Each structure stands twice: as structure tokens, then as C-alpha cells.
Amino acid sequence: MSVKTKIQWCDSTVNPTMGCEGCEIWGPQRKTCYAGTLHVRFGGATPGYSPSFDVVTQFPGRMREAASWPDLRGKARAEKPWLNGLPRIIFVSDMSDSLSATVPFEYLRDEIIANVRTEPGQRHQWLWLSKRPDRMAKFSRWLGLQGISWPPNLWAGTSLTAQATTSRIKSLVQVGDERTIHFLSVEPQVEPIDLLPWLPRIDWVIHGGESGRGARPFDLSWARSLISQCATLGVPYFLKQLGSNVVESGEKLFFKDNHAGDWEEWPEAVQARQIAKIYKAVNHLA
């Protein structure tokens, strides 16, 4: 967990679990998940990590600590001006997938939901990202059976990398209720993706290319395409980084920042960093 993070679209990160059961970017064929890479380097010996990445480990108390972090409402962020004035934006689970099958719903309820709903927790916006939105939707229904509603300041998100993974969105939009903000992290995108059929039900799109050694190409036209798709449906769009292997019309592009995360280096047409409309329910009622 970290009260300050370099991740461009949030202020802070918190990990109620560490480790993961894997996905299309962490398996026998490919190992590029940065959480997995950090666990290979530090896991086991370093306090706060899982003994190994594939052993999903619970860390109760972290959400409570994150809830106590200072309120950022109305505050400016020198390095992330697109967040100015907003509540603290906290990325839940950047070093894990806490919807992994071995994590009990009771733990997620007591650690995540309970702390998001506390008075200090309600000052922040919590963005929970998972590649297992089917389990997040089951969890949401399970809470409902106990009379517990999904907190409006807990956003539900899933990650996509290729067209086939857009099937995750069907589960994602079943999480929560009409107040819930549903968002996509299309990163690392590895092929053209058509989101248009889904965008009417989506509140925010984060986008980016792959980084690190062996990064697959990210075609700048993909950024133009998603910007256009989101603009067509009026969905806020945030380009996080172009990644370490950027191409345009078959030519490789070079940037000073090795992740191409400095938007001042990008062509003006893709300099887009919008944030979702917070307080969706309030907006709907207005």
C-alpha cells in the first residue's frame, strides 16, 4: 500500500490481499504482470508480500489504515492536475487480484466493504480493479442477500487486453446498483478493440500500452480509436501511458520516458486525461 503512487489516474494504492492466481499476462506463456514481477523479486523475504505470487495472502487492517489517510477534497495535485479538487482516489488491489477464488467473501466484506463505508472511508473514492468481474458480481449479489448495498464510493472495474476479454464487461455491469461507477482499464492493449457495444453501460475508460522488456507493440491509432469511441458515447477517457513499444504506421516511436507516460511528449490529439463523473447518483437525480 502506498499513500502516494506514480500511477497517473489515482492518488494512492491499497492491497487488502497480495498475490494472484494469474491471467493472460501471468501464466505459462507470458509473465509481464508487474505485481507478479515484483513478487518474484521481493516475495517471501520482504514483509508485506505474499510468500509467493500464486499464494494469495490476506492483509487485514490495510483498508482501515487507508481510510484514515488525509482528505484530499478541494486539494490541488501538483503532478496530477487532472485530479485537482477531487476526493482521494485510491486504487484497490494493484498488487493482487483480491477476487481470486481462494479469498472468502466474508473477508472481502469485512475488510473492503466495511472500511469503505466508515466515516473516514466515505471521504475517499475507492477503485477496485479485477480480472474476475464474474466473482465481483457474485460477491455483490451475496452482499445484497445480507441486506448490504454496494457503497457508491466503491467503483467497480475490470481490465481488458484484447477483443476476447471484452466478455468480462457483461459481468462487470452486474456489480452494484444504478449508483455504481463501472470502469475499464484497457491495459496493456495488444490488438484493436471495439468497445462501442459496451460503452453505453460504462462510466470511464483508462487506456495504455504494455511496458517493460519484451513489451508488445501499441499502435498509436488504437489511442485515436478509443478516444473517438468514447467521445461518440460521451464516456470520459484517460490515456495513462503509451508503453515501451509504440508504433505508428509501422514505424517505431521514441519517447524520453521509457513507459511513454509523460503526456507532454505525446501528439496533441491523444493528450486526453479525463476522470469519471463522481457521484453518479447525484448527477442522475439532478
Specify the residue, 26 or 218, whose C-beta has the smaller distance to ligand SF4: 26
At its nearest, how many Å lie between ligand SF4 and the CB of residue 21? 7
Chosen residue from 16, 87, 97, 207 binding ligand SF4 by CB under 6 A = 97
Specify the residue, 26 or 266, whose C-beta has the smaller distance to ligand SF4: 26
At its nearest, how many Å lie between ligand SF4 and the CB of residue 162? 13
At its nearest, how many Å lie between ligand SF4 and the CB of residue 42? 15
Site for ligand SF4 in 113-152 (CB under 6 A): 131
Q: Which of helix, strand or coil describes residue 67?
A: helix
Site for ligand SF4 in 16-55 (CB under 6 A): 20, 22-23, 25-26, 33, 35-36
Specify the residue, 25 or 169, whose C-beta has the smaller distance to ligand SF4: 25
Is 187 a binding residue for ligand SF4 by CB under 6 A? The answer is no
Specify the residue, 87 or 188, whose C-beta has the smaller distance to ligand SF4: 188
Alpha carbon distance, N-terminus to C-terminus of the chain: 36
Specify the residue, 4 or 30, whose C-beta has the smaller distance to ligand SF4: 30
Helices (H), the chain: 34-42, 62-67, 105-108, 114-117, 133-145, 168-172, 220-233, 280-285
At its nearest, how many Å lie between ligand SF4 and the CB of residue 228? 27
Hey, what amino acid is at 154? L
How far apart (Å, rounded) are the C-alpha atoms in residues 38 and 44? Answer: 11
Helices (H), 173-241: 220-233
Q: Report yes or no: 90 and 124 within 8 Å, Cβ to Cβ.
A: yes
Sequence-distant (6+) residues with CB within 8 A of 44 are 50, 51, 52
Size of the site for ligand SF4 (CB under 6 A): 11
Specify the residue, 33 or 181, whose C-beta has the smaller distance to ligand SF4: 33
Q: How many C-beta atoms surround the C-beta of residue 162 within 10 A?
A: 14
At its nearest, how many Å lie between ligand SF4 and the CB of residue 248? 26
How far apart (Å, rounded) are the C-alpha atoms in residues 220 and 209? Answer: 9
At its nearest, how many Å lie between ligand SF4 and the CB of residue 214? 15
Sign of CA dihedral 26, 2, 262, 193: positive
For the chain, strand residue ranges (E) read 12-14, 17-18, 57-58, 89-92, 125-130, 154-160, 182-186, 204-208, 218-219, 237-241, 246-248, 251-253
Q: How many C-beta atoms surround the C-beta of residue 97 within 10 A?
A: 24
Chosen residue from 17, 50, 57, 96 binding ligand SF4 by CB under 6 A = 96
Specify the residue, 22 or 212, whose C-beta has the smaller distance to ligand SF4: 22
Interacting stretch for ligand SF4, rule CB under 6 A, among 15-23, 142-150, 215-223, 237-245?
15-23
At its nearest, how many Å lie between ligand SF4 and the CB of residue 164? 15
Residues that bind ligand SF4 (CB under 6 A): 20, 22-23, 25-26, 33, 35-36, 96-97, 131
